[in-house]
Chains A and B, each alone.
Chain A
Amino acid sequence: MIAEIGFASLALALLASIYSIITCVAGEIRRNERVVLSGRNAALLTTALVTIATVALQVALIQQEYHVSYVWSVSNPAMPSFFRWTALWGSQAGSLLFWTWVMVLFTAGAILLNWRTHRRLMPYATAYMMAVVVFFLALSLFLENPFDRWWILPDGEVVANALIPAGAQSPTDARLAETARGLNPLLRHFGMAIHPPMLYLGFVGFLIPFAFGMAALASGDLSTNWIKASRGWALVAWLFLSLGLILGGRWAYDVLGWGGYWGWDPVENAAFLPWLMGTAYLHSVMIQEKRGMLKTWNMFLVIATFSSVIFATFATRSGLVESVHSFARSEIGFPMFFFWFTMTLISVVLLMWRRSQGKLQDDHKFNNLLSRESLFVLNNFLFMALFCVVFWGSFGAPISSELFLDTNITLGTDYFMQTTPWLFAALYLLMGVAPLSAWTSTSASRLGRSLIVPIILTIATTLFFIAQGMDTTVAIVAYTIVSLAGWVALYEIYRGVVARIRTHRENPISALLNLIQRNPRRYGGYMVHFGVVVIGIGVIGSTLFQVESQRTLQIGESMTIDNYELRYDNFRPGQISQDGRIMDIAELTVIKDGTPVATVSPRRDFFPENTDMNTMTIAGAHSTLENDFYVLLVGWEEISSNNATFKVYINPLVNLVWWGGLILILGTMMAFYPKPVLRSSTATEPQQLIPAMKGSV
């Protein structure tokens, strides 16, 4: 029953979304308000229907309705109930539905929050959003239906189909429960439970700025309205995308057991590409808001960001590239490619058409090399360069070699390690200088003067690192560049606070809070920069100074690595966990300078019910801010287990990557801080009274 409800809601949602596109566009062209409103309501109805379908699938998962083939493929009776919730995005069909659901929620949010404030853009924006929804609904309905059920045909063949084939019978529940597959063990991790939703929220969130941009082109309202309407949404999307990337790294670090968190794998890169483009966009729109420049370019960036979101989805789900976490090769590859291509083409053509009408002319010209706007352009250039470098390495080179040279080449991690550090270094350097330059024009000497204090602090930091025994040139240079950016961010916040203390006679804490409240974007931005600096310090430390060692130990024996000692104490084989996995656990003590500091328990899990992938190596880690002591159990003697082999990594400063991520998230949230309601004595613009989401972030 539940499968029928889900299937019917999906089918109705497809009809409602198509209706919404037609009425929104037709109503707007004929200036018929009633028709437009009908389209708007149809879009909201789509949201309700997709929500029903998603709830239906979730209920089917929780009630263990194994006759639904999706439920059968991602769960089994032994699974703990928490993973029945997350199994919703455990495989292709479910995750597509989940993706569509997130998309319609965003759409409804945009319609409800922006309809009044940006009435002129909304009908076209709604139509654009619904067009993307239609495509994903069609994929779900016709190619990857999560509501397919198992049927036994009269000739004995077993098929999955949404509707009952003639004369077919349903297999017995008992039989299905017995063979049900269970969730891939790799996905049974807390990080994996929240990493995909975050990433989807980030990906899908960029639909809203894209739709607003396209609506501006379609409606002819090419003022900064579309940017104002979409600013909050772009920031939300960026926040979730960043979170998704960081959580993905954390999951890889905890579960994949290779001591790292980023491997330049094509699928990781696919998710990184929209982030690069989106970050360029977030910076670039500021020039248009402040100076009315780069209008075409910003439009291009918003198109490119969403286009790379769809490309990333296509690359991940079609089996285009060989990767650890690509989905199985599937039928949705071609339709997705086609959709990506047409969508991008239509958007670019629309943009070129408006440009040729002369409607996207800039209000000012660039006239100073060190002005804030010029440095923003440099920022954009660097983000684009990184985008191209990463794209070429992961997709460009392999695909073009196959198409044009009839060979199949890949560029490994080496390629990325040779190219990206330069560009990252340039970005960090720019992050240190750009916030201090002024709009329109800045002289080199003025810029130099404002850099004096941060430079002194940076030199002090570098000397501190050298005194700590760091002697690698690469590391010294890298840390110097990164810490300059950090000091600039902190120093700017400090200067703001001091100025407020002086002029308003406030205590430091309320001065800081008021400062943030007065200009949340600016100080939130500094906070984000500081978070990125902390991540940078962590990445440099864990990349350049990782120590790796392996040894076979007898119980009671120790090994020395760096200034640590690791003692093998005990082995507990065959521990059965709640979810049916069998764990072999080794217990070791980490000793530093003669005193035990921690016990770690690396283990090997065995999943007896899984046929394809049934073992998993889980690292034991001792984390401090200074480093991670990361131990893997890689083998042991089957009978006595007196001897066991361990692989040990010491990852210096790796925890700063996660802490930096946290700062970045806080900073982005700070940028949402609603502006205070201004008293009538000060100049009031109506828009400043509207809270963050409505466009005054």
Chain B
Amino acid sequence: MTDNTWQKSDVSQNEALQLLQRDDRAKFLIGGVLLLGAVIYLVFSATTNSTTYFITVDELVNDVDNIGKTVRISGAVIGDTIIYDEQNLTIDFTVANVDSDTGDLATSLYQAVNNPTATRLRVYIENEVKPDLLQHEAQAIMTGHLGEDGVFYATELLLKCPSRYGETVPGQSENGEV
């Protein structure tokens, strides 16, 4: 190898490097766009596949179109309707429509179960261990569908007690308890 060839290759190497860099920038761009596209597609398809509408008991019952559709609803549990079959792990109970306008969850739930005109809905869930929080005046958040028979067949049951972290006044703790 002579000096001459070294110099030559040096020049062409520089050019090649520049070319390579330009090439790489394009690669970065293409790679980035592809990745971004893949993520957006993933999110989009998963969103359309697993969107569940959160509606009220009233909305569910008052629209015939809702029968059979998977929805999420929330209602106030009426304590003495709970029937738990621990052999077959099925739970059957009734919830009352909660009017969310009162602002305070505890009050809303109390009003819902004590309002004789509130819409009531029977709920049936299979293969579910009775949750510890399933009790009178608890808020039940359920995913499932309304059957032709007017019963809500739930696949998921989440419960919330308004006072779990909140506070009540000492004098009221006895009155509030039913």
B-binding residues in A (CB < 8 A): 69, 72-73, 91-92, 150, 158-160, 171, 175-176, 179, 181, 184, 257, 319, 322, 324, 327-330, 366-369, 374, 381, 385, 388-389, 392-393, 397-398, 407-412, 414-415, 418-419, 422-423, 550, 552, 611-617, 632, 634-636, 643, 645, 647
What are 23 A-to-B residue pairs whose CB atoms are below 8 Å?
Answer: A73-B167, A171-B170, A322-B158, A328-B166, A329-B105, A366-B28, A367-B20, A369-B27, A388-B43, A392-B47, A407-B53, A407-B54, A410-B52, A415-B46, A418-B46, A419-B42, A611-B176, A611-B177, A616-B132, A632-B129, A635-B87, A635-B130, A645-B89
Q: B35, B46, B166, B171: which has the most chain A beta carbons within 10 Å?
A: B46
CA distance A319 to B156 in the complex (A): 20
The answer to whether the Cβ of B24 comes within 8 Å of any Cβ in the partner chain is yes
Chain B residues with CB under 8 A of A634: 86, 89, 129-130
Chain A residues with CB under 8 A of B21: 367
Chain B residues with CB under 8 A of A632: 129
Known pairs A329-B104, A369-B24; A422 contacts B54 (CB<8 A): no
CA distance A215 to B52 in the complex (A): 45
| In contact, B160 and A611 (Cβ under 8 angstroms) | no
**Least Cβ distance of B42 to chain A in Å?**
5
Per-position contact with A for B140-178: 1 when CB-CB < 8 Å, else 0? 010100000000000010101111111101110110110
The answer to whether the Cβ of B68 comes within 8 Å of any Cβ in the partner chain is no
| In contact, B86 and A419 (Cβ under 8 angstroms) | no
Contact of B53 among A175, A409, A636 (CB under 8 A): A409
For chains A and B in complex, what number of residue pairs have CB atoms within 8 angstroms?
Answer: 145
A-binding residues in B (CB < 8 A): 20-21, 24, 27-28, 31-32, 35, 39, 42-43, 45-47, 49-55, 72, 74, 84, 86-87, 89, 104-105, 127, 129-130, 132-133, 141, 143, 156, 158, 160-167, 169-171, 173-174, 176-177
- Assuming A410-B52, A419-B46, A617-B129, what are 10 further A-B pairs, CB within 8 angstroms? A92-B166, A158-B170, A158-B171, A328-B163, A389-B42, A407-B54, A407-B55, A411-B46, A635-B84, A645-B87
| In contact, B165 and A184 (Cβ under 8 angstroms) | yes
| In contact, B53 and A179 (Cβ under 8 angstroms) | no
**Least Cβ distance of B140 to chain A in Å?**
11
Contact of B169 among A158, A366, A411, A643 (CB under 8 A): A158
Chain B residues with CB under 8 A of A616: 132
Chain A residues with CB under 8 A of B42: 389, 418-419, 422
Nearest A residue to B158 by beta-carbon distance? A324
CA distance A636 to B127 in the complex (A): 16
| In contact, B167 and A69 (Cβ under 8 angstroms) | yes
CA distance A686 to B9 in the complex (A): 44
**Least Cβ distance of B21 to chain A in Å?**
5
Chain A residues with CB under 8 A of B161: 612-613
| In contact, B39 and A408 (Cβ under 8 angstroms) | no
| In contact, B86 and A635 (Cβ under 8 angstroms) | yes
| In contact, B160 and A322 (Cβ under 8 angstroms) | yes
